[in-house]
Amino acid sequence: MAKLLLNLRNVPDDEADEVRDWLKDSGIEFYETEPSSWGISSGGIWIREDAQIARAKALMAEYQAQRRQRAQADRAAARSDGSAETFASLLRQRPGYVLGVLVAIIGIVALTLALPYLFLR
């Protein structure tokens, strides 16, 4: 019976391509389901054979560890050269957006705290 290896919801294209490549290179048979038209299902990469599931999951864990290390190294490099996005840099680039989001957050929090008080009097 086929088992889901990777749900493709919010997975970047480069990550999905890398997973497909190492599955092919390692000789693990898989198939892919497409996202539904209505957005209910996001698609996935499935392993066909039960015997290959444990191996595929081990390879997936190793791949994710390597990808995490690369992402952390990229983030550290961006911080060291000053190109990492920070709250201050976003505020300078898009002040209207940042202030709008802050006002919305404050409004939601105020409404959340005020409604029980108003309805439970």
What is the C-alpha to C-alpha distance for residues 20 and 45, in angstroms, rounded to an integer? 8
Q: What is the mean predicted confidence (pLDDT) over 43-64? A: 93
Task: Note the pLDDT of residue 83.
Answer: 86
| pLDDT at residue 108 in the model | 96
More confident residue, 20 or 83: 20
Compute the Cα dihedral for 87, 89, 91, 96 and give only its sign.
Answer: negative
Neighbours of 45 (CB within 10 A): 20
Which residues make Cβ contacts (< 8 Å) with residue 84, sequence separation at least 6?
A: 75, 78
Residues whose CB falls within 8 Å of the CB of residue 43, separated by 6 or more in sequence, listed in order: 7, 8, 9, 32, 33, 34, 35, 36
pLDDT at site 118: 84
